[in-house]
């Protein structure tokens, strides 16, 4: 088995942690609110703390990974995951819990950027899409696991166990990373070409193609990349594509569904102590299966077709759900339609906006500024995620659930048009080939040509 697959499997544990630590709040929130006496706003603050931390962690991790390397940065992230999960479990009040959740967010944001970068720079071109999207698959497994853990502890209300169990995979991630090599591309950029060649041979076998290595050398000879370089005319369009896809991902409604699914199901008529969380776990299972299918499709069908084929049914499902909720609020029919539409939405999301922003952001930026570019794109994701999550419950109380999901449908329709206009197809292209097209001045739509 090529070592590159082992790297992807270990890095995917960070995806599991992202999914588990962000979504476990769905099952724990009711019990936290009971113990700490929280209202709608403070519940939103507890949920959003990890997302604000994600914004900060994603924003800072690019320069850290660029300076110290991807593997050491991911190791530090694993340690932070473990420490903050345990801190959350032993929090004595809502202020301590919010602080520990913010620390978890720092780890979540860093992992969102560093793990796809590490996998993309160590994977063969023919498998890169599947291996990077494996992180998104792991996120969905983490989300489902958090729902099942929530279901297991629903009767006892042991929210501290729900939060504390996140430390276990963090320790596994830290242990696995200790035996893996650094990215060969980072090593060459750091002036350690012989170490980079050795890493390439251990990861992929054979020698590094000289024409690709020359592109990395050239990038290393240029002045050190700065954040403001991303806004230069040559790179701004790539930044807009990468950040834009994450913007649409988090405005499409997925965050509200993942974090507040039990609350949504209660509003549409799912009763009892376990009914909402069972329905939520069902959505999580659909998410996992669909993301596994996406991993198989992504290097066969391609990035661009999957985005378009996913966004169209996402728009239709959300619009249908909003219509049903407006015509039959709280009724049995609208409850059934909501469950069907959310399931269809999750399937479509899992093969499109779920994995593909991670894959494309790891492919489009040039080597010298890839870490900073991915850092800013990931920060966009967590910033918008925080806004959506904090505002969802108050917005639903203000205008109602049907108009909120109608807004999400409009976002998906706009995302479809945006993708059709600017997103390239990068299937099977080396990172250096894409970079050469960018340096030649080709528009983003043609970077994979």
pLDDT digits (tens, 9 = 90+) for 99-113: 999 999 999 999 999
Q: Note down the domain range covering 118.
A: 3-180+222-446
Q: Indicate the SS3 state at residue 407.
A: helix
Helix%, strand%, coil% for the chain, nearest 5: 80, 0, 20
344: in domain: yes
Residue corresponding to tokens 């240029």: 222
pTM of the model: 0.83
pLDDT score at 104 = 96
Burial class of residue 64 (count of CB atoms within 10 Å of its CB; 0-12, 13-18, 19+) = buried
pLDDT score at 270 = 63
Q: Indicate the SS3 state at residue 272.
A: coil
pLDDT score at 78 = 97
Q: Indicate the SS3 state at residue 160.
A: helix
pLDDT values of the chain reduced to their tens digit, one per residue, 449 residues = 478 889 999 999 999 999 999 888 878 888 898 889 888 778 878 888 898 899 899 989 988 998 899 999 999 999 999 999 999 999 999 999 999 999 999 999 999 999 999 998 888 888 888 888 899 899 989 988 988 898 888 778 789 999 999 999 999 999 999 999 999 888 888 888 898 889 888 887 777 778 777 777 776 666 676 777 788 888 888 999 999 998 999 899 887 777 677 777 777 666 665 666 677 778 888 888 998 898 888 888 888 999 999 999 999 999 998 898 888 766 667 778 888 888 899 999 999 998 899 889 888 888 888 888 888 888 888 888 878 877 877 888 888 888 988 999 999 999 999 999 999 998 888 888 888 888 888 888 888 77
Q: 389 and 256 in contact (C-beta within 8 Å)? A: yes
Q: How far apart are CA 79 and CA 75, in angstroms?
A: 6
200: in domain: no
Alpha-helical segments (H) within 121-209: 128-152, 159-164, 167-177, 184-189, 193-204
- DSSP 8-state symbol, 222: S
- Residue 170, number of CB atoms within 10 A of its CB: 27
Q: How far apart are CA 21 and CA 382, in angstroms?
A: 14
The domain that contains 275 carries what CATH number?
1.20.1250.20
- DSSP 8-state symbol, 224: P
pLDDT score at 172 = 96
Q: Indicate the SS3 state at residue 336.
A: helix
- Extract the tokens encoding 28: 């724990």
pLDDT score at 4 = 84
Q: 81 and 401 in contact (C-beta within 8 Å)? A: no
Q: Indicate the SS3 state at residue 34.
A: helix
- DSSP 8-state symbol, 207: P
Q: How far apart are CA 304 and CA 418, in angstroms?
A: 11
Q: How far apart are CA 120 and CA 424, in angstroms?
A: 17
208: in domain: no
Q: How many domains does the chain have?
A: 1
pLDDT score at 274 = 63
198: in domain: no
253: in domain: yes
- Listed residue (436, 416, 429) closest to 299, CA to CA: 429
189: in domain: no
- Residue 446, number of CB atoms within 10 A of its CB: 12
- Extract the tokens encoding 78: 């694993």
- Extract the tokens encoding 332: 């049995």
- Extract the tokens encoding 5: 């697959």
Q: 94 and 47 in contact (C-beta within 8 Å)? A: no
203: in domain: no
Q: How far apart are CA 322 and CA 266, in angstroms?
A: 16
- Extract the tokens encoding 145: 């696991």
Residue 229 CB contacts under 8 Å (≥ 6 apart), including other chains: 235, 369, 372
- Extract the tokens encoding 118: 């590490």
197: in domain: no
């Amino acid at each position: 088995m090529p070592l590159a697959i082992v790297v992807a499997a270990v890095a995917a544990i960070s995806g599991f942690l992202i999914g588990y630590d962000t979504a476990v709040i769905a099952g724990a929130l009711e019990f936290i609110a009971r113990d700490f006496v929280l209202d709608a706003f403070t519940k939103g603050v507890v949920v959003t703390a990890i997302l604000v931390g994600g914004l900060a962690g994603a924003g800072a991790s690019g320069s850290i990974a660029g300076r110290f390397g991807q593997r050491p940065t991911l190791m530090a992230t694993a340690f932070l995951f473990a420490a903050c999960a345990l801190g959350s479990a032993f929090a004595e009040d809502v202020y301590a819990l919010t602080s520990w959740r913010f620390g978890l967010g720092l780890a979540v944001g860093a992992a969102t950027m560093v793990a796809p970068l590490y996998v993309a720079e160590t994977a063969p071109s023919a498998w890169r899409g599947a291996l990077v999207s494996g992180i998104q698959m792991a996120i969905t497994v983490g989300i489902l696991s958090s729902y099942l853990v929530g279901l297991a502890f629903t009767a006892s209300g042991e929210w501290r166990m729900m939060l504390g169990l996140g430390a276990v995979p963090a320790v596994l991630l830290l242990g696995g990373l200790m035996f893996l090599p650094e990215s060969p591309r980072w090593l060459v950029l750091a002036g350690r070409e012989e170490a980079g060649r050795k890493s390439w041979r251990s990861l992929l076998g054979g020698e590094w193609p000289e024409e690709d290595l020359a592109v990395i050398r050239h990038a290393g000879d240029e002045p050190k990349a700065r954040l403001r370089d991303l806004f230069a005319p040559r790179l701004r369009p790539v930044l807009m594509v990468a950040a834009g896809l994450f913007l649409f991902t988090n405005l499409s409604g997925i965050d509200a569904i993942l974090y507040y699914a039990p609350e949504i199901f209660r509003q549409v008529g799912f009763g009892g102590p376990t009914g909402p969380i069972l329905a939520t776990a069902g959505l999580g299972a659909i998410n996992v299966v669909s993301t596994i299918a996406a991993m198989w499709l992504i290097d066969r069908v391609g990035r661009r077709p999957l985005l378009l084929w996913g966004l169209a049914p996402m728009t239709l499902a959300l619009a249908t759900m909003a219509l049903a909720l407006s015509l039959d609020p709280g009724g049995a029919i609208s409850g059934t339609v909501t469950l069907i539409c959310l399931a269809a939405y999750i399937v479509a999301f899992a093969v499109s906006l779920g994995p593909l922003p991670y894959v494309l952001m790891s492919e489009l930026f040039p080597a010298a500024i890839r870490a900073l570019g991915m850092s800013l794109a990931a920060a966009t994701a967590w910033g918008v995620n925080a806004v959506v999550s904090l505002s969802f419950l108050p917005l639903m109380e203000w205008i109602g659930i049907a108009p909120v999901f109608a807004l999400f449908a409009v976002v998906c329709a706009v995302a479809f048009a945006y993708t059709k206009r600017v997103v390239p197809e990068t299937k099977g292209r080396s990172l250096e080939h894409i970079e050469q097209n960018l340096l030649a001045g080709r528009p983003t739509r043609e970077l994979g040509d």
